[in-house]
Amino acid sequence: MSARPVLDQPVSSEEVRSRFAENLRRLRERSGVSQETLARMCDLHRTEVSLLERRLRSPRLDTLIILAEGLELASLAELVEGIG
């Protein structure tokens, strides 16, 4: 019943990476591009999308913005939905 669910249920770093990985994979597959293609479109290192989807890395904010642009999302919010 709290207005601050993030405080009631602190999210672990592992959980953040896991939830983000799910969002990224879902949105990338919706766009119909491979991990490598998305990385190239975004001018990221070719392994970056793979690392993120395998939950091995927590993305920096500038990478989030770049991915949102590459996936043609209306805003960053869609990429981090349900995470925090």
Binding site for a copy of itself (CB under 8 A): 3-4, 6-7, 10-11, 13, 16-17, 20, 58-65, 68-69, 72-77, 80, 83-84
Closest distance to a copy of itself from the beta carbon of 32 (Å):
17
Closer residue to a copy of itself (CB): 1 or 7? 7
d(C-alpha 27, C-alpha 24), whole Å: 5
**Looking at residue 10, what DSSP letter applies?**
P
Quick one: 1 or 61, whose CB is closer to a copy of itself?
61
Cα–Cα distance measured from residue 56 to residue 34, given in angstroms and rounded to the nearest whole number: 18
For residue 59, how many other CB atoms are within 10 A of its CB?
22
